[in-house]
Structure 1
Amino acid sequence: MTLGVVMLVHTAFDRAEQMIRHWAAAGCPVVVHVDKNVGQATHDAFVAALADLADVSFSRRYRGEWGMWGLIAASQAASRQLLDRHPDIQHVYLASGACLPLRPVAALKAYLATRPETDFIESVTTSDVKWTVGGLDRERFTLRFPFSWKRQRRLFDGYVRLQRLLRMRRRIPAGITPHLGSQWWCLTRQTLTAILDDPRRAAFDSYFRQVWIPDECYYQTLARLHTRRLESRSLTLAKFDFQGKPHIFYDDHAELLARSGCFVARKIWPQAKALYHRFPGEAQPEHCAQEPHTGTIDRIFAQAVDRRTIGRRGLYMQSRFPFMDRENGFTAVPYTVLQGFDDIIPDLAGWLTAQTGVIAHGHLFATDKAHFAGGAAVYRGGLSANARLRDYNAKMFLTNLVWNGRDQHQCFQFGPADSQAIKWMLAKDPQASVWVVTGAWAVPLFRSGRSASAVRAEAARLQQVESGFINALRSSDARSRRHIMTLAEFLGSPVDVLQAITGDMVGHRAKALSRPPVMVDLDGFAAFLQDLKNQGMHPYLAGEFAPGDAVKSTRPPPRKAYVIDRK
C-alpha cells in the first residue's frame, strides 16, 4: 500500500528537512505546508534544500495561528494536492515538522495495509471528554470566535461575555454531531476525499471557521459522516499538560518512547540529538503488527499532571506554591498535639520518648522560643528555635517541621500561653491528632504558690484563649482528629487516656501501661479552684471539683528504711 504524508512546518527547518527525507526515503509522497508567518527568504531556502526529492511538493501557504481556521485551510490545501498528484495513495497521515517516527515507516505501512478501510482519528463527543481547557466545551460550537485567543485576548473574552449576556447561540448544521479529538490523524483516501468533496462543504467550512480551535473538531466531526470504520485514537503520541499545552520530549524520554510502541511522537525538542539518532528503530518483522500501547506513558504523564497541579502532600516549593486552602494537605504525615498534659506530667516528653520512641518536642510555639526535642537550637531542615523567625510564618514552620521529620512520628506540646497563630491550622489539618485536657493551665497557677486573687486575671485570660481554641476544634471546618476532655475527666482515668494516646501514636507497637507516669502533687487543688470562683473567676473548663475532694498524687511512695540486725 502507499502512504502519503501532509506535513505542517513553521520552525526548526533543519529537523523538518530531516523528517521529510525520512518519509520520502520510505516511499511516502509528502506535501509540505510552510506557515505564511515564515519569511519568504527562509521559505525559498527550505524549498531549494528539498528540490532533489521528486515526490516532495509544497502547497499554498496559509497563516496557521493557534486556535484559528488557518490550520484547517492549510491541511485542506495540502491534502487536496496530495490526493490529486498521487492517485495510488490509500492512507494520508497528518504530521508536523516536530514529529518523529519511533518505528520504521515500513511497520506503519504494514499495519495500515491490514486495515485498509480504517480511519485513525480521535473523535469523541463533548460530553465524553474532560480535557477541554478554558471552560469552553459545548460553547465552542454554539458561540462565535472571530478573535485570536492569543493575540486578542481582551476582545476574545469580551465577545464571549457579550454573547452569553445576549444569549446568542449558533445553529449547528443539520446532520452533524460535534466531536473533539487530537488534530493528528491518519485517514483513508475514501474518507478524506469525501470530506473535501462533500456537497455541503461550503456550509460546513463557514460554520467551523468560527468555532474555537477548529483543528480539534473539523475532521473529528466530519469523519463520522463518511467513515466506513473509525477507530477513535491517534497513531501519533502527543501528550498535553494541565493547561492544554503540548509536552515536549527530550533525550531523557528515550526509554519511555521506546516502550510506548507508538509509530510517531510529537512534540520533539529540536536539540534532542539522542532521540533523532536513536529513532526510528530497526525494522523487526515480528513487530510490524504490534499495537501501540500507551498505558505506561499515560500513567506517567497522569502522575506528572497530578504532581504539577496537586503536588506532594505537605510539601510547598517555589515552583508550585498553591493558594490558601487549596493545598494538597497542610502537612505530610500524621502528628500529635498535646495540650495540658505537660502541666500535669512534668517529664511528659521524656516519658513519651521512652514509652513510644516518637520525637517528643516541648512547646514549639512558646513565646520565648521553639522548644525542640532534646533542647536543640536548630532542627532538621535548618529550622531555627528563634521565636521571631518562627512567627514570621507559623504555618510554614509547622509544615516544614512535619515534612523534615516525616520518617518518624512527632508530637509537640501546645497551650493557651503559646502563640495561637496555628490554632486554625491544627483544627483543619486532617493529619493532626489533637488531645486536649481543658483547664490544665490552672495547675501551674496553683503550684506557683500565689493566692487566687493574684492569679485571677491570668486564669481568666488563659481560659478565654483556650476556649477560642476549643471552639476552633469544634467548628464545622475542623478536620483534625480531636479528643477533648476536662481536667477532672482526665484525672478520673489517666491510664486509659495515656494508653489511647500512645496507641494513636504508634499503633500496635504501644506498650501496655500498668500505671500512669509521675504526676504533680495536686493536694489542695480543689480548694484553689473554689478560691478562684470566690474571686469571681469561674474555671469551668477544668471540670467539677468539690471543695472537699482530695486529688491524689501519683508520686511513688518514699522508700522504707530497713534496719539490718548484725547480731
Structure 2
Amino acid sequence: MTVGVVMMVHAALDRATQVANHWVASGCPVVIHVDANVSHKTFREFKTNFEGNEFVKFSKRHKCEWGMWGLVAATQSASELMLDNFPQVRHVYLSSGSCMPLRPVSELVSYLDARPQTDFIESATIADVPWTVGGLDSERFTLRFPFSWKRQRYLFDKYVHFQRRIKFKRRIPKGLVPHMGSQWWCLTRQTLSAILEDPDREQYDRYFQKVWIPDESYFQSLARLYSTNIESRSLTLSKFDHQGKPHIFYDDHLQLLRRSDCFVARKIWPKANRLYEAFLNSPMPEARRVEPNPAKIDRIFAKAVERRTIGRAGLYMQSRFLDQHWENGVTSAPYSVFQGFTELFEDFESWLSKASGCRVHGHLFAPARAEFAGGEKVLNGVLSDNAKLRDYNSQAFLTNLIWNTRGERQCFQYGPRDSQANNWLMAKDPNAQISVISGAWALPLFKSNRNFANIRKEAARLQKIESDFLDVLRSPWAKARVRIWTMAEFVEAPMEPLQTVIDEIGKHAPRRLAEAPRMTDLTGFGQFLQNLKNQGMHPYLMGDFPVGPNDPVDQKPTRRPYLVQ
C-alpha cells in the first residue's frame, strides 16, 4: 500500500462510487471529500455504498466553489485524514470524481515505487506560466479576492478596479515565491505532511484565502519550500480550451485516451458508458513500462482549439459569424472577377468557360437577379437568384457561393451597374483575382438609343462608381490579385492581357490561346466619348481614344490579329 487517493466529489456520485471501488480493488485507500453543497440526504445515500469498507474514509465537508478557498480547505482536510489513517501510504494522489484511471493501477504503483522521493506537481513561476486566462497573473497574488467570480462578478470586477485605482498591493509572506500549476498533483508523504504541519501554516492559509484560484497555487508554491525532488508535471491528463475550460472526454475519445499513456484522465463525461466499461470493467492490457506522454495527443487538441477559435477558411454560419478582420480567410477558394469584359467582347462568358474550364457566371450582383451560369435559378447550397435574398446579406451570398462550390473555380462578371456592397470584401480577399477594363461600362450607353442628356447623366454616375471601386482596388489594404487596364490600352493589344488572365486562373497547364473572343464593333465610339466631353462630362477612365479617322476600328488593316497560330 504505497499510493493513497484523495477524491474531490460534487456530482455524478454513481460514477464516483464506481471509480473509488476501482482504486480500492487495486489496493489503494481512498479518502473522499463531498462538497457541502450536496444535500445531506444525497450524501448519506452515497456514503452507504462504502459501509464496512475500511479503505474508504470521508473527510470533513467544505463548500467548494471555483476560484475560492474552499477547494484548498477540502484538500487539506482529506489529506490530513489520509496521512493519519493510512501510515503505509507514501504518495498521495489528488483526483476528482470525474477522473478515471487509464492504465492498470499496478502500473501507477510501480511507477511511484521507482520514484519514492519524487513529487509530481506542476509548479511554475508567474513569469513562466503562459496559460493564465482572464487577465490576472501576478495580480492574483497581490490583490484581494473576497468575492466569487462566478456568483458575484459585478463586485469582483469593481473591487479589482478599486484596488488598482488606489494602488493596493498585498505583502507576500516572507520566503514564499508564488508558483502556479494544475491542481491535480501527486505528492510524497514527506512533502505533504511538511506543508500541512508547517508552523507558519496559519499565516500561509490566511494569505491564500484571498488569492484568486488558490487551488492552482497553494500546494504548487509551498511544495517548493519542502520538496527535495519536484517533477513539474501532472500525472493526470487534463486539457483546456482557449477560454481555460476543461475539455470533456466522451466515448469517441477512447483511442485518443489510450494513445496518451497517461495514468489518469479528467474530465470524463458521466454518461460515457463505453469509456467506463473499457477502463474500469474490462481486463486491462499487459503492463507497459512507458512514460505518460500527453504530448502525443497535443497536436489534436491544438487543432481543435484552432478550429474552435478561427474556424475553417471561408465558412460562415448562424453559429459562426466572425469579427471582421479576424476571419481565417475571407473565402474558401480562389475565384475570378471580370469587369468590363462582357461589354467589350461578344459572348465572353461562353468563351471564357471553354478557354478556362471554369464555371462562368454572368453579373451575380445585377439589379434584377443573380445571373448564374447556364441561366440556373438555384445554385449549390440552395442559393437563389432572387435579388432581394441576395442583397439581404450580399457578403454571405458570395462567401457561401465559393464555399458551396469548393473544387470548382468560380468566375463572374462585375460592373458599376451592380451592387457594390462587396467591393472591400473582394479587394481584401487573397483568393480573389480581379481583372478590370476601366471605362467599358460606356459601351452599352454608346449602343443605346436613349436621350443624350440621360446618357451623359448615367455616364457620370457609372464613372463615379467605377472610380470609387478602382480606389478600393489600389488601396494599401487590398490583398487581391488585381489587374487594371484602360479600355484604350486593352483594345490596342487584347491578346496579351487575355493570356495573362487565363494563365493566372491556372485550371489547365499554361498554353497559348488559339482563339480569341470576338470584340464588339467600336466604330464611332471615339466620337461618342468626344460628344460626352462636349456636353460637359469628362470620360477619363477609358484612356485616350482617338476620334474620327484615327479611331482604332477604322484602322482594321493595321490592328493586331486576335488569332495566334
TM-score of the superposed pair, with normalisation by structure 2: 0.94
In structure 2, the residue matched to 1:245 is 245
Q: For residues 53-92 of structure 1, what are the structure 2 equivalents within 5 Å?
A: 53-92=53-92
Post-superposition CA distance 1:187-246 (Å, at most 9, x none) = 111211222222332222222111111111111222222222222211111122222222
Moved more, 546-555 or 216-225: 546-555
User: Structure 1 residue 343: deviation in Å?
Assistant: 0.9
In structure 2, the residue matched to 1:565 is none
Given the superposition, is the C-alpha separation of residues 556 and 409 from structure 1 closer, same or farther in structure 2, using an over 3 Å criterion? farther
In structure 2, the residue matched to 1:434 is 434
User: Structure 1 residue 405: deviation in Å?
Assistant: 0.7
User: Structure 1 residue 397: deviation in Å?
Assistant: 0.5
Post-superposition CA distance 1:83-124 (Å, at most 9, x none) = 122222111100111111111110100111111121111222
Given the superposition, is the C-alpha separation of residues 284 and 255 from structure 1 closer, same or farther in structure 2, using an over 3 Å criterion? closer
In structure 1, the residue matched to 2:278 is 278
Cα distance in 2 for partners of 1:249, 1:509 equals 48
In structure 2, the residue matched to 1:117 is 117
Cα distance in 2 for partners of 1:279, 1:500 equals 62
In structure 2, the residue matched to 1:458 is 458
User: Structure 1 residue 480: deviation in Å?
Assistant: 2.1
Q: Which amino acid aligns with 1:156?
A: F
In structure 2, the residue matched to 1:157 is 157
Cα distance in 1 for partners of 2:61, 2:337 equals 68
2:529 equivalent to 1:529: yes
Post-superposition CA distance 1:414-459 (Å, at most 9, x none) = 0001111111211222221211111111122222255754511111
SS at match of 2:519: coil
Q: For residues 475-514 of structure 1, what are the structure 2 equivalents within 5 Å?
A: 475-506=475-506, 509-514=509-514
Unaligned runs of 5+ in 1: 558-567
Q: Which amino acid aligns with 1:51?
A: E
Query: Aligned pairs, how many?
Result: 556
In structure 2, the residue matched to 1:327 is 327
Post-superposition CA distance 1:300-323 (Å, at most 9, x none) = 222112111211111112332323
Residues 545 and 551 in structure 2, CA contact (< 8 A), matched pair in contact too: no
In structure 2, the residue matched to 1:401 is 401
Cα distance in 1 for partners of 2:554, 2:176 equals 85
In structure 2, the residue matched to 1:561 is none
Cα distance in 1 for partners of 2:161, 2:142 equals 13
SS at match of 1:147: coil
Post-superposition CA distance 1:16-46 (Å, at most 9, x none) = 1111111111111111111111111222222
User: Structure 1 residue 169: deviation in Å?
Assistant: 1.8
Q: Which amino acid aligns with 1:371?
A: E
Given the superposition, is the C-alpha separation of residues 477 and 165 from structure 1 closer, same or farther in structure 2, using an over 3 Å criterion? farther
Cα distance in 1 for partners of 2:138, 2:172 equals 11
In structure 1, the residue matched to 2:562 is none
2:13 equivalent to 1:31: no
Q: Which amino acid aligns with 1:148?
A: S
In structure 1, the residue matched to 2:3 is 3
Residues 519 and 554 in structure 1, CA contact (< 8 A), matched pair in contact too: no
Post-superposition CA distance 1:345-367 (Å, at most 9, x none) = 12111111111101111100000
Q: Which amino acid aligns with 1:339?
A: Q
Post-superposition CA distance 1:361-418 (Å, at most 9, x none) = 1100000100001110111111111111111111110011000011111111100011
SS at match of 1:381: coil
Residues 424 and 472 in structure 1, CA contact (< 8 A), matched pair in contact too: yes
Cα distance in 2 for partners of 1:357, 1:230 equals 64
Identity %: 58
Given the superposition, is the C-alpha separation of residues 2 and 214 from structure 1 closer, same or farther in structure 2, using an over 3 Å criterion? same
In structure 2, the residue matched to 1:189 is 189
Q: Which amino acid aligns with 1:253?
A: H
Residues 523 and 551 in structure 2, CA contact (< 8 A), matched pair in contact too: yes
Cα distance in 1 for partners of 2:128, 2:367 equals 56
Cα distance in 1 for partners of 2:131, 2:319 equals 23
Q: For residues 412-427 of structure 1, what are the structure 2 equivalents within 5 Å?
A: 412-427=412-427
Residues 261 and 290 in structure 2, CA contact (< 8 A), matched pair in contact too: yes
Cα distance in 2 for partners of 1:349, 1:294 equals 55
Given the superposition, is the C-alpha separation of residues 356 and 455 from structure 1 closer, same or farther in structure 2, using an over 3 Å criterion? same
Q: Which amino acid aligns with 1:551?
A: P
SS at match of 1:412: strand
Post-superposition CA distance 1:31-69 (Å, at most 9, x none) = 111111111122222222212211211111111111100
User: Structure 1 residue 125: deviation in Å?
Assistant: 2.5
In structure 2, the residue matched to 1:563 is none
SS at match of 1:233: coil
User: Structure 1 residue 128: deviation in Å?
Assistant: 2.7
SS at match of 1:509: coil
Post-superposition CA distance 1:272-327 (Å, at most 9, x none) = 1111111046455550x211222343222221121112111111123323234432
Given the superposition, is the C-alpha separation of residues 360 and 167 from structure 1 closer, same or farther in structure 2, using an over 3 Å criterion? same
In structure 1, the residue matched to 2:130 is 130
Cα distance in 2 for partners of 1:126, 1:490 equals 63
Residues 363 and 413 in structure 2, CA contact (< 8 A), matched pair in contact too: yes
Cα distance in 1 for partners of 2:446, 2:182 equals 74
Moved more, 112-121 or 169-178: 169-178
Moved more, 377-386 or 8-17: 8-17
CA RMSD in angstroms, aligned pairs only: 2.0
Q: Which amino acid aligns with 1:432?
A: A
TM-score of the superposed pair, with normalisation by structure 1: 0.94
Residues 366 and 417 in structure 1, CA contact (< 8 A), matched pair in contact too: yes
Residues 36 and 62 in structure 2, CA contact (< 8 A), matched pair in contact too: yes
Residues 346 and 517 in structure 2, CA contact (< 8 A), matched pair in contact too: no
Residues 94 and 184 in structure 2, CA contact (< 8 A), matched pair in contact too: yes
Q: For residues 372-411 of structure 1, what are the structure 2 equivalents within 5 Å?
A: 372-411=372-411
Residues 453 and 532 in structure 1, CA contact (< 8 A), matched pair in contact too: no
Post-superposition CA distance 1:518-545 (Å, at most 9, x none) = 1111122222211111111111111112
Q: Which amino acid aligns with 1:109?
A: V
Q: For residues 97-246 of structure 1, what are the structure 2 equivalents within 5 Å?
A: 97-246=97-246
Q: Which amino acid aligns with 1:264?
A: V
Cα distance in 2 for partners of 1:284, 1:175 equals 47
User: Structure 1 residue 262: deviation in Å?
Assistant: 1.1
Cα distance in 2 for partners of 1:442, 1:433 equals 23
SS at match of 1:133: coil
2:466 equivalent to 1:471: no
Cα distance in 1 for partners of 2:291, 2:528 equals 82
In structure 2, the residue matched to 1:550 is 551
Q: Which amino acid aligns with 2:551?
A: A
In structure 2, the residue matched to 1:261 is 261
SS at match of 2:158: helix
Cα distance in 2 for partners of 1:38, 1:18 equals 18
Q: Which amino acid aligns with 1:471?
A: D
Cα distance in 2 for partners of 1:452, 1:134 equals 66
User: Structure 1 residue 515: deviation in Å?
Assistant: 5.6
**Runs of at least 4 residues off by over 6 Å:** 553-557
SS at match of 1:144: coil
Cα distance in 2 for partners of 1:127, 1:265 equals 27
Given the superposition, is the C-alpha separation of residues 500 and 129 from structure 1 closer, same or farther in structure 2, using an over 3 Å criterion? farther
Unaligned runs of 5+ in 2: 559-565
User: Structure 1 residue 267: deviation in Å?
Assistant: 1.2
Post-superposition CA distance 1:117-169 (Å, at most 9, x none) = 21111222333333222121222122111100111111111111111222222
